[in-house]
Structure 1
Amino acid sequence: MNFDPPVDLSANKAKVFELNGAFAREFPDCGFEASFLYELDGIQIRAFRRTTSVAKPMIYISAGMHGDEPAGPLALLEMVRSGFFDERANWLVCPILNPTGLVAETRENANGIDLNRDYLNPASVETKNHIAWLEQQGSVDLSISLHEDYESTGFYLYEINCISCPSFAQNVLEAVSPILPPEPEPLIDDHEVREPGWIFHEPEADLPDQWPEAIWLAKHGTAVSYTFETPSSEALEQRIAAQLCATRTLVECYAS
């Protein structure tokens, strides 16, 4: 019986170290306070907070939940370097939530756990520490989660709206369409779309015992949540550009 040789992940680990180190430098340079969450495989993961005014909304952005979805963390690096996190809002940012998955380029963490199904009764170190930090931050007005999808051919989003806030889904889809067209399928991941690329999701988990991050946030007071999904089959630069455009458009609509 033949076995494939073990994959050498040292190059990937070096890239993740470099990316994580860039976040550790860039966010404090932009006025963020860093909070240490945990260390795995020598990688120290931090979350970041910037408070500008109690009168401004609290916007939370996360990325790197799944290790085979690199466009989100790379888009966040571009955001912090370009001065995106300005005085329009108070900011919470978690740029890398699954460092071992990012090294291995796997959806799950090193223990085979899908972190985005681990938010009801968390089993992973990553989710336990993430939740503990979130619980200390107070209420979130707008949440944005950056994800990717291997099965889609276009850009799409989930919206969870707990307070009947005006929807900005159409604004986002229209802005992103020159970069990536909306996903054309009428059924995405077993969800019927409201319009092409737009899934309006109730604040309930599809599987009651497997909560994603967005459901945990909705259950703990987050008013409005958007999850952006770019198609992994497209070029990485194109996916990063789409995540940047979607996030910038949503924040401009919500906080301007």
Structure 2
Amino acid sequence: MRFMPFVVSALSMSACLLASTGALAQDAQPQSTPVKNIVLVHGAWVDGSGWKPVYDILTKDGYHVSLVQEPLTSLEDDVAATKRVLDLQNGPTILVAHSYGGSIITEAGVHPNVVGLVYVAAHAPAVGEDEGTLGKGMPSYTSKQPGAIRKTDDGYTYLNPVDFPKDFAADLPLKQAQFESHSQILTAAKVFSTPMTVAAWTTKPSWGIVAANDKIINPDLERWYYARAHSHTTVIPGASHSVYESRPKEVAAVIEDAATHAQQ
């Protein structure tokens, strides 16, 4: 009987050791944490200022947000400009793009800092594909309008300022849309016909936003892109191509969802 206290004590110590070992094992499990770095990429004919409504929401929610001001001179130049900003990030990053910017992040998204992609009314070609050819297969409203997309003698494109408000930004205030129509960044025509050499969405999780009333990119083409990429897809009814400006809350919510779940 005098050995009983020692037996009880030994059992208690064993239980404590097992509990401690279990706790250590649990602590050793990889913990997924939300991504805090967001990089935003604009599309053709516009600049990064259109992202401000989304930027304001994301920064208020505690995210570190950077914007790429790509030159729109070639896909190679635009990808390089994006990678330059990605190099400045201090860890895992969600890479977001609008419109032609989707082709840019499809290439630049292989950067090691990128853990997730968000396509906002954007193109997402595969290796060997280009958005211009894919757009001909599912033409947009704008592409079927003679004279809507114009080209300079040296090979740069822009959207006819008369067509811009109703085609690009139908759900923005008219004065804002008119200002944007006259502050376009002329975009090299060759960016639309340059084939992809890599496709980051084949190896990294992606999210896609369909702007249901998009006239610049056929909404059915957006759906097709995202279905092929197995993207987490959100359709925003009534949204124009300027969805990132007109519906910033919905767009920011998708980006934050990507930041929360990209590493799970």
TM-score using structure 1 length: 0.32
Quick check: which one's strand share is greater?
A: 1
Quick check: which one's helix share is greater?
A: 2
- Asked which structure has the greater CA Rg, the reply is 2
TM-score using structure 2 length: 0.31
